């Protein structure tokens, strides 16, 4: 699911770049597009946004976790009624995530196919390229001597290619077609410089990353478009650098070299002829229209990059499907627990991922340690958890019960195992272990550990003899107050349970 | 023998033509020095030659024996050249050779004599 969200937010960026590219390709430095594609790649690979990595971890995600746990074989030991109860509960809470799995299989199959589609021909040709022969042409020997690089560059000739190219990330090899015109020194210089810029800029790595992005997001047609355009932009950006290195007066000579190489190529690969002809036309166009970079161009490019980067960093993956409970609430702190000295210590928590166990604060009491966190969206975790709107007045935890005292009268029928989830640290729902009793007179919900669940052996197991580790309690939005209102957002707290 | 040999394969054949039957290990040593191939690369090329029927492998010691001669390979390449570049007509190739300005008078004289002999 998160993948589709990533894909969709990347799609918006790609569309934006395509528009910019078609409008401004000749007026801003080509390297801008490389940076913009880099932002898209970041979006395609990294599942969360920079500024608020946790904002999207709603209840739906947690329940996904529960579903997986529940399908574990250990569930078989649960009493029959509990299973039914749990499944009802789950269908209500998270009806959609259950349908993910077949898609996951299709996606994985597509990923593998795509990866093979790239890797097999690539590895096969690498084996062939190894058999290329060295070149002892004086111009090339001289040129190699002049280049200072950390990675040693080799130039070799090969009789089975028609146009020059470079391969290898760590030990780059420039491969020249055997039949090229070795006497045209200027042309050789252009070709070598072009390939050298590819090497210097680690374009091989770029191409790998683009291919990887495509493999992961193979179902997204816009990622395919990005793959094609970004690969072209690698060339355009490289051409730009070559023209810069030789001076604008040589751009037509350089463009002619490209045309000559392309002629040779199209003799061999008829299959992608049409397509590459479009690409070469674009390249020649771009070279001939290269101007000295204007200040406006650079400014525009900078603005674009900043806008794209910010858009990427702040929007985050776009949620689709079931809206996670609590999404509507983004206004400041969510009430979690009352800051009462007799029951719960002040809470300040540092989140680490969406793990349920966040042991940063110990509660010095014989009733156990209390950690309070609300994982729902929009919470500022650094703020104190007290709030006038909190429906909970106090929480008491004793050896065999959890007592939640509410500020106001609650609707009894909503205080049941469907709306109050009790889970252990393995996200196993433990509702079966507790009896739910609401005392209307004291406005207290008692979650009493069932007698048969109380530990009788030294090493209690979470299934046989009641909860062993930290317990998490989630009060969902299904809970209603006496006057029929539901909670603003879900409430969630965690404590160590030591019977 | 109708076998198209690539440059890499010709490098291997060249050694066999010059030195007679040699072991694959020796070929790998020579080519390692000459063209910087790794052992595996050389072995890949040798295997390709075996598959094409240009080399036969004699045990023990992976001794390589050339199944085609230098002349056969030259013959094949020339035929290819005439077919590809001279419309299958050999005299156009001769004309082209005679028209080259990097031939000195002696060489031209020798070519003319060969043509006359064949006449």
Q: Indicate the range of A91-100, A230-239, A404-413 predicted with least confidence.
A: A91-100
A328: pLDDT strictly greater than 50: no
Cβ A392 vs Cβ A403: under 8 Å? no
Residues 6+ apart with CB under 8 A from A386: A337, A338, A339
Backbone angles phi, psi at B22, to 5 degrees: -135, 165
Q: Do A159 and B44 touch (CB under 8 A)?
A: no
Any idea which of A213-227, A374-388, A403-417, A464-478 has the lowest mean pLDDT?
A: A374-388
Q: What is the pLDDT of residues A60-113, one digit of tens each?
A: 444 444 444 433 343 333 344 343 343 334 444 444 444 557 888 899 999 999
How many CA within 13 A on the CB side of residue A156?
25
Q: How far apart are CA A207 and CA B13, in angstroms?
A: 37
Share of chain A above pLDDT 90, in %: 14
Smallest CA–CA distance, residue A131 to chain B, in Å, is 6
Which of A213-217, A288-292, B72-76 shows the lowest per-residue confidence on average (mean pLDDT)? A288-292
- Among A131, A154, A160, select the one facing B41 at the smallest CB separation: A131
Q: How confident is the model at residue A23 (pLDDT cuts 50, 70, 90)?
A: confident
Residues of A with CB under 8 A from a CB of B: 127, 130-134, 154, 157-160, 178
- Please give the structure tokens belonging to residue A376: 């729902």
How many CB atoms are located within 10 Å of the residue A284 CB? Answer: 19
Q: Please state the rounded mean pLDDT for residues A4-10.
A: 85
Instruction: Output Rg (C-alpha) for chain B, integer angstroms.
Output: 18
Q: How far apart are CA A242 and CA A205, in angstroms?
A: 20
Tokens of A44: 């395609």
ipTM: 0.77
According to the per-residue pLDDT averaged within each range, which of A173-187, A408-422, A429-443, A461-475 is highest?
A: A173-187
| For residue A297, pLDDT beyond 60 | yes
Q: Which residues of chain B have pLDDT under 50?
A: none
pLDDT single digits (tens) A275-285: 455 677 788 88
Q: What is the pLDDT of residue A217?
A: 93
Rounded CA-CA distance A105/A261 in Å is: 43
pLDDT of residue A111: 94
Q: Element (H or E) spanning A372, and its range?
A: strand A370-372
**In degrees to the nearest 10, what's the CA dihedral of A64, A65, A68, A72?**
-150
CA dist., res. B11 & res. B47, Å (int)? 13
DSSP letters of A34-69? Answer: HHHHHHHHHHHH--S-SS-TTTT--HHHHHHHHHHH
State both tokens at B103.
Answer: 């031939």
Contact B6 A178 (CB under 8 A): no
| Least Cα separation, residue A152 to chain B (angstroms) | 14
Cβ neighbours of A356 (radius 10 Å): 21
Confidence of residue A343 (pLDDT cuts 50, 70, 90): very low
Residue A162, min C-alpha distance to chain B (Å): 14
Asked whether residue A39 carries a pLDDT value surpassing 80, the answer given is yes
Greatest mean pLDDT range, A178-182, A229-233, A254-258, A276-280: A229-233
Least-confidence region, from A212-216, A235-239, A381-385, A471-475 = A381-385
What percent of chain A is modeled with pLDDT above 70? 63
- CA–CA dist A487, A389 (Å, integer): 10
**pLDDT bucket at A196, cuts 50 / 70 / 90:** very high
pLDDT reported for residue A277 = 56
Beta bridge partners of A474: A421, A492
Of A127, A133, A154, the CB nearest to B7: A133
Tens digits of per-residue pLDDT, A350-407? 333 333 333 333 333 333 333 333 333 333 333 334 444 567 788 877 777 788 888 8
Side-chain-side CA neighbours of residue A19 (13 Å): 8
At A300, is the pLDDT very low, low, confident or very high (cuts 50, 70, 90)?
confident
Average pLDDT over all residues of chain A? 70
Strand order in the sheet with B55-58: B22-23, B63-66, B55-58
- Residue B6 touches chain A, beta carbons under 8 Å: yes
Q: pLDDT confidence of A156, banded at 50, 70, 90?
A: very high
Considering only A155-159, A168-172, A404-408, which range has the smallest mean pLDDT? Answer: A404-408
Q: Is the pLDDT of residue A120 over 80?
A: yes
Q: Is the pLDDT of residue A469 over 80?
A: no
What is the structure's pLDDT at A116?
94
pLDDT at residue A224 tops 90: yes
Residue A183 has pLDDT above 70, yes or no: yes
Say if CB A237 and CB A34 are below 8 A apart. yes
Q: Phi-psi bin for B62: left (phi > 0), alpha (psi -120 to 50), beta?
A: left
């Amino acid at each position: 699911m998160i993948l589709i969200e990533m894909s969709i937010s990347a799609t918006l960026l790609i569309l934006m770049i395509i528009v910019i590219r078609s409008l401004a390709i000749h007026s801003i430095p080509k390297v801008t597009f490389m940076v913009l594609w880099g932002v898209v790649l970041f979006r395609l690979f990294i599942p969360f946004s920079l500024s608020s990595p946790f904002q999207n971890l709603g209840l739906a995600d947690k329940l996904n976790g529960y579903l997986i746990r529940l399908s574990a074989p250990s569930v078989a030991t649960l009493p029959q009624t509990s299973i039914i109860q749990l499944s009802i509960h789950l269908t209500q809470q998270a009806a959609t995530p259950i349908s993910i799995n077949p898609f996951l299989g299709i996606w994985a199959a597509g990923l593998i196919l795509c990866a093979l589609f790239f890797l097999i021909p690539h590895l096969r040709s690498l084996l062939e390229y190894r058999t290329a022969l060295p070149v002892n042409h004086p111009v090339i020997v001289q040129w190699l001597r002049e280049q200072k690089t950390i990675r040693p560059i080799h130039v070799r000739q090969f009789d089975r290619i028609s146009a020059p190219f470079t391969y290898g990330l760590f030990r780059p090899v420039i491969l020249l077609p055997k039949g090229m015109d070795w006497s045209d020194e200027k042309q050789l210089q252009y070709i070598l410089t072009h390939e050298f810029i590819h090497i210097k800029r680690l374009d091989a790595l770029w191409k790998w990353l683009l291919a990887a992005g495509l493999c992961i997001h193979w179902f997204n047609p816009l990622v395919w478009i990005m793959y094609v355009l970004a690969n072209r932009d690698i060339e355009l950006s490289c051409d730009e650098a070559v023209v810069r290195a030789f001076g604008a007066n040589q751009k037509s000579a350089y463009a002619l070299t490209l045309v000559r190489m392309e002629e040779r190529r199209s003799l061999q690969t008829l299959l992608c002829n049409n397509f590459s002809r479009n690409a070469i036309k674009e390249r020649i166009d771009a070279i001939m229209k290269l101007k000295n970079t204007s200040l406006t161009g650079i400014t525009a490019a900078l603005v674009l990059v900043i806008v794209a980067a910010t858009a990427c960093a702040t929007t985050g993956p776009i949620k689709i499907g079931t809206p996670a409970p609590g999404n509507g609430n983004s206004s400041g702190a969510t009430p979690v627990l009352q800051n009462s000295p007799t029951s719960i210590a002040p809470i300040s928590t540092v989140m680490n991922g969406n793990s349920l166990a966040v042991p940063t604060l110990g509660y010095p009491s014989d009733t156990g340690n209390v950690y309070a966190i609300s994982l729902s969206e929009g919470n500022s975790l650094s703020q104190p958890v007290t709030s006038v709107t909190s429906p909970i007045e106090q929480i008491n935890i004793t050896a065999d019960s959890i007592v939640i005292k509410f500020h106001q009268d609650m609707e009894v029928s909503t205080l049941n195992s469907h709306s109050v989830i009790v889970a252990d640290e393995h996200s196993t729902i433990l509702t079966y272990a507790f009896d739910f009793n609401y005392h209307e007179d004291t406005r207290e919900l008692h979650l009493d550990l069932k007698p048969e669940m109380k530990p009788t052996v030294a090493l209690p197991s979470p299934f046989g003899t009641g909860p062993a580790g930290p317990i998490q309690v989630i009060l969902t939005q299904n809970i209603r107050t006496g006057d029929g209102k539901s909670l603003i957002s879900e409430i969630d707290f965690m404590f160590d349970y030591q019977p | 023998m109708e076998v198209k040999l690539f440059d890499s394969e010709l490098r291997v054949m060249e050694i066999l033509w010059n030195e007679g039957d040699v072991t694959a290990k020796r070929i790998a040593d020579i080519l390692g020095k000459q063209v910087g191939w790794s052992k595996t690369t050389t072995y890949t090329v040798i295997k390709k030659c075996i598959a094409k029927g240009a080399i036969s492998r004699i045990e023990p010691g992976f001794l390589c024996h050339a199944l085609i001669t230098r002349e056969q390979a030259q013959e094949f390449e020339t035929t290819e050249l005439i077919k590809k570049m001279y419309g299958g007509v050999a005299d156009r190739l001769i004309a082209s050779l005679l028209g080259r300005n990097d031939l000195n008078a002696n060489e031209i004289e020798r070519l003319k004599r060969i043509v006359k002999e064949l006449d």
